[in-house]
Amino acid sequence: LKEALIEKRSRLGESQTLQQFSRDADEMENWIAEKLQLATEESYKDPANIQSKHQKHQAFEAELAANADRIQSVLAMGQNLIDKHQCAGSEEAVQVRLASIADQWEFLTQKTTEKSLKLKEANKQRTYIAAVKDLV
């Protein structure tokens, strides 16, 4: 009886850890989706206030950098569940989820870098146009 109780407690602990991973993964996927909307908007095409847009984007990049550890923590938690066989038979589903989060994060960072380059280029273009207008 005691062994059965210990086994049940162990399975409950595993289930709780798996549920915590699921909640954390949901939260990270929602956060990434929210940030992806900002990273893919094309505000750089409108030259109005381009310097301000560039500054806001730099703050956005800092926010992403500050949250990179959270992403890595969720990925490590999921991998730990798999390594310790604490997925209640759903190791493959956890692995798929980990790959999805990693891919989403990579896509977000890629789009953020692209937008940064485009904003820098737009800012250079604005500066050039202003200099040309001063000459005329």
CATH of domain 1-41+58-108: 1.20.58.60
Domain ranges for the chain? 1-41+58-108
Whether residue 22 contacts residue 86, with contact meaning beta carbons closer than 8 Å, is answered with no
Look at residue 129 in the predicted model and tell me its pLDDT: 87
Residue 41's region, left for phi above 0, alpha for psi from -120 to 50, else beta, is: beta
Does the reported pTM lie above 0.85?
no
75 alpha carbon, distance to own chain's centre: 11
User: Of 3, 38, 15, nearest to 90 (Cα)?
Assistant: 15
What digits encode the pLDDT tens for the residues 55-101? 999 999 999 999 999 999 999 999 999 998 888 788 899 999 999 99
